Chains A and B, each alone.
Chain A
Amino acid sequence: DIVMTQAPLSVSVTPGESASISCRSSKSLLHSNGNTYVNWYLQKPGKSPQFLIYRMSNLASGVPDRFSGSGSETDFTLKISKVETEDVGVYYCGHGLEYPYTFGAGTKLELK
């Protein structure tokens, strides 16, 4: 199975400042078709996970452009610029390259 490793486990950010979350995969997620199969989800407190970014850098419909995804074949970053109170929750990376799909352990974003 592909192991997804996230860092840090938690991050505390002042509203209006930026936050970055890292995710590393144990295998390249770059497919021969040129797509990189890493996705990002946010689970707000008490809610189901919601989909944020697909194929490393593509924002889901309705996701503010304060969110961005980038990376290489095995190292990925989710960046949130100008963090707002609604961004609080646990962020998970996950891959879609092959079965079984797996998720990282999550990074909890809190406000200072």
Chain B
Amino acid sequence: EVKLLESGGGLVQPGGSLRLSCAASGFTFTDFYMSWIRQPPGKAPEWLGVIRNKANGYTTEYNPSVKGRFTISRDNTQNILYLQMNTLRAEDTAIYYCARIRLGPFFDYWGQGVMVTVSS
């Protein structure tokens, strides 16, 4: 069974940093592209970025809205996906999801999400 479990969310002050983790299980992690997606309360999801699979060199792409502030990485020995978020702003407040990408492409599995609140 595919499982994605995010952690690391919480309250952070504007200008601060936070690193989210997503523990993956139930599939061969290195075979899949993985993404981070966020959803402000009551709003639509926003795709943040992708990290490709082993066959494609684990390269990354980002939404211009967060490029330069957010970094996606992965630990392929422990099957963990990361999102490093720097210089956080109030508008970064959202539920953050990790998601597996099937080459369609589409997001076939989503984690349960973790809340990040940026406020003083």
Contacts of A106 in B (CB 8 A): 44
A104 located at the interface, meaning its Cβ lies under 8 Å from any Cβ of chain B in the complex: yes
Chain A, interface SS category:
loop
CB-contact partner of A51 in B61, B108, B111, under 8 A: B108
Contacts of A60 in B (CB 8 A): 108
Chain B, interface SS category:
strand
Q: Is the CB of B44 within 8 A of A105?
A: yes
Q: Mark A49-81, 1 if CB is under 8 A from B, else 0.
A: 111001100001000000000000000000000
Interface size class of B (residues with CB under 8 A): 20 to 34
Interface residues of A (CB under 8 A from B): 1, 37, 39, 41, 48-51, 54-55, 60, 92, 94, 96, 99-106
19 additional contacts, CB 8 Å, given A39-B106, A51-B108?
A: A1-B64, A39-B107, A41-B45, A48-B110, A48-B111, A49-B45, A49-B97, A55-B104, A94-B45, A94-B107, A96-B105, A100-B62, A100-B65, A103-B44, A103-B45, A103-B46, A103-B47, A105-B44, A106-B44
